[in-house]
Amino acid sequence: MLDVIWTQNVHEYPEEVRELVRRGSAILVTAGSSASAVTKQQTSTIPIVFINVGNPIGIGLVKSLPHPGGNVTGFADAVADLSGKFLDIARELGGPQAPIDYLWHTAWEDGQHRFSLTEQAAQAAGMTLRSRPLKDIDDLEPQLAAMKSDGATIVIIQPGPFTHRYRKRIFQGATSIKCATIYGFPPVAQDGALIAYGPDAIEMYHAAGQYTARIVNGEKPADLPVQEPTHFKLIINLATAKALGLKLPTTLLARADQVIE
């Protein structure tokens, strides 16, 4: 039996996973860091193939990428490594001197790691990065108000389970204060992000299916290296640009893999 676990609320996972373990699932396929981490806590024997995990070593899923060990392997999203790329896009939109706001969820296990990498990249590039932390969704409106007061024009939204769950509310709120949004998961551009850049999700899911088949045929997760994405997509939402009254650089539009009208 193959089971796929996907949810955006970590508190929903444990009982769901325990039930799958009791049912005798042969393989568990998990999407996202939180689902993957909690699933690993529930079983050390059932093979787990994860997808879209940003820091599999840091959150304790595997010992190393080439030799994961244990019962877990899968596909890292490498989004944390794109911190400099997000800043490059922000610089194209606002110029080298424009301050960049960074909205992130402090309760997520990989949140501080991703913020620190972005902060380091901003310092190296001589850019001003303003942290906008969220403990819960109730913090969103006060942070948006602070951003508006500070004249924010561009916000990088840290991709993660929390921001993905509330993505439409976040995108709409940022757009309402005329702040351009950059997000690290391409499919969400259709939900209102101005620019979404990140790994090709379809490619990752296809590869996960191949790993699952290999495990079904007798290979062990410990022997299958964790893979990182090789293809990335840039998607731009022109409807959001229009709502912002923003004319995008032609160089940015020319590089887009998809433009949503």
Tell whether 172 and 70 lie within a shared domain: no
C-alpha gyration radius of the chain: 19
Question: Is the distance from CB of 2 to CB of 27 less than 8 angstroms?
Answer: yes
Q: What is the pLDDT of residue 202?
A: 87
Sequential pLDDT tens for the chain (261 residues): 555 554 444 445 567 777 777 777 888 888 888 888 888 988 899 999 999 888 899 889 999 999 999 999 999 988 888 999 999 999 999 988 899 999 999 998 788 989 999 999 999 999 999 999 999 999 999 999 999 999 999 999 999 889 999 999 999 999 999 999 999 999 999 999 999 999 998 898 899 999 999 999 999 999 999 999 989 999 999 999 999 999 999 999 999 999 999
Q: 87 and 185: one domain?
A: yes
Span between the terminal Cα atoms of the chain, in Å: 42
Please tell me the predicted confidence (pLDDT) of residue 2: 56
Residue 20: both structure tokens together: 């799958």
Q: Are residues 35 and 107 in the same domain?
A: no
Backbone angles phi, psi at 238, to 5 degrees: -70, -25
State the residue range of the domain holding 131: 80-198+233-260
The verdict on 219 and 153 lying in the same domain is no
Residues 48 and 72: their CA atoms lie apart, in Å, by: 5
Tally of domains in the chain:
2
* Phi/psi-derived region of residue 42, left when phi > 0, alpha when psi is between -120 and 50, beta in every other case: alpha
Q: Is residue 84 located within the same domain as residue 57?
A: no
Amino acid in the structure at residue 98: A
Using CA atoms, how far apart are residues 171 and 163, in angstroms rounded to an integer? 10
Residues 160 and 215 in one domain: no
**168 and 205 fall within a common domain:** no
CATH number at residue 214: 3.40.50.2300
Its sign, for the CA torsion 47, 105, 58, 86, is positive
Task: Tell me: do 46 and 124 sit in the same domain.
Answer: no
Q: Do residues 144 and 249 share a domain?
A: yes
Residues 173 and 226 in one domain: no
pLDDT of residue 11: 45
Please tell me whether residues 184 and 168 are part of one structural domain: yes
Both 191 and 88 in one domain: the answer is yes
Predicted pLDDT at 234: 97
pLDDT of residue 7: 42
